[in-house]
Amino acid sequence: MTAPFKRLAIYCGSATPSDPVYIENARMVGATLAGRGIGVVYGGGRLGLMGAVADAALDLGGEVIGIIPEALVQAEVAHQGCTELHVVPGMHARKQKFTDLADGFVVLPGGVGTMDELWEAISWSQLGYHTDPVGLLNINGFYDELIAFNRHMIEVGFIRPQHADILIVDETLDGLLAKMEAYQPHRTIFAMTADDL
């Protein structure tokens, strides 16, 4: 059976929280994707959730493509065991490379950098820079407040009805991947007229 996704971009934290549930789930994601023949495109680090996803996928022979800015390579946090490691000038180039190489996005728990990546993936989807599904894996209720805030933005009217379903949410990876596979691209802002906006 052919995997519905060739590669998925995984956005997640480089930190290691005290609660082991986050690292355990990151490892589960890496192992599951490798087991399904889906390549991992991620931030190229060896620490925290990022390293856990990569190591688990590599342990099962999965493809792992790391994309890391030069400054972080110099800080010695790059994962040298990746199938491929792309060193880019900065964060903008990094996110563009994620979008170029992957055909979907899965967001695990993380901090400011992960939030930046999540909202840019959603923003680019709204505009029409990509039509790939954006999935949020809500491990341990980590994203409950963010999901509520996204719903608030929809209710107030800052997210258009056409774009209300861009953010795909589930508490299990199997459920999230199934929803992402069923995702139908919406009408993008680039395809709208001023009257639509």
* Structure confidence by residue, pLDDT tens digits, 156-195: 999 999 999 999 999 999 999 999 999 999 888 888 777 7
Distance, CA of 25 to CA of 164 (rounded, Å): 27
85 Cβ contact partners less than 8 Å away, ≥ 6 residues apart:
44, 65, 66, 68, 78, 79
Q: What is the predicted pLDDT for the residue at 3?
A: 61
Tokens of 2: 């052919």
Please tell me what DSSP assigns to residue 4: S
Q: What is the pLDDT of residues 95-136, one digit of tens each?
A: 999 999 999 999 999 999 999 999 999 999 999 999 999 999
Least reliable range by pLDDT among 72-81, 85-94, 118-127, 188-197:
188-197
What domains sit in the chain, N to C, each tagged with a CATH number? Answer: 7-185 (3.40.50.450)
Q: What is the DSSP string of 19-49?
A: STHHHHHHHHHHHHHHHTT-EEEE--BSSHH
Residue recorded with tokens 């060739």: 6
Question: How confident is the prediction for the chain on average, in pLDDT?
Answer: 94
**Res 1 pLDDT > 70:** no
Q: What is the predicted pLDDT for the residue at 2?
A: 46
Tokens of 174: 């199997």
Q: What integer is the mean pLDDT of 85-94?
A: 94
Q: What integer is the mean pLDDT of 31-52?
A: 97
- DSSP-derived pairing of the beta strands 134-137 and 167-170: parallel
pLDDT over 70, % of the chain = 98
On the CB side of 7, CA atoms within 13 Å amount to 18
pTM of the full structure: 0.94
